[in-house]
Amino acid sequence: MAVERRPPAPTERLSLREMTRADLDDMAALLGDPEVMRHYPRPFTREEAARWIESSLRSYEEHGYGLWTVTVRETGEFAGNCGLTRQNVEGEIFTEVGYLVPARLQGRGYATEAALACRDHARDVLGVDRLIAIINPENVPSQRVAGKLGLTFERTAAYNGSRQRIYSLRLRP
């Protein structure tokens, strides 16, 4: 059975679309920026950025969703990535909302706007019951975005070799 693939609907200012290999230059710049990646173990190499894209391409095929490329509707400017991924947290599989915005565009509400579209897509199109966000304890801006989505702090958990804060929201009763 084929998995339905479609990104979230456009927002007032942003469009989300499937990531492609043609996004490598933008994604390598985003994932290689020490400021953007300050809450990750380290910035990514270009090769790691290519693997990031390939992971999303596989996720679209297998699950119908993944991380989507975000662009500014008015200009077409690359505004990062945002989307939904399957994550294993201490042996349980969850759907996570994640977002990364280029440093020059941070503080404009783009992460919140794109992530709200992804939250609604998870609930209304994909039928996800529970959404999480895995956030570095020092990443206060990301914690604020999670709060604006309605996610609340649930617990601290081991994830990829470090302790992370898990935020969650029940999307369906």
The CB density around residue 19, as the number of other CB atoms within 10 Å, is 26
Q: Which secondary structure element, helix H or strand E, spans residue 81, and what is its range? A: strand 78-89
Annotate 40-77 with b (16+ C-beta within 10 A) or e (fewer): eeebbeeeebbebbeebeebbeeeebbbbbbbeeeeee
At 1 the pLDDT is 46
Q: How many residues does the chain have?
A: 173
Q: Which fold has domain 14-170?
A: Aminopeptidase (3.40.630)
pLDDT in tens, 25-47: 999 999 999 999 999 999 999 99
Where along the chain do its domains lie? 14-170
- Cα 102 → chain centroid: 13
Instruction: State pTM to two decimals.
Output: 0.95
Intervals of the chain under pLDDT 70: 1-3
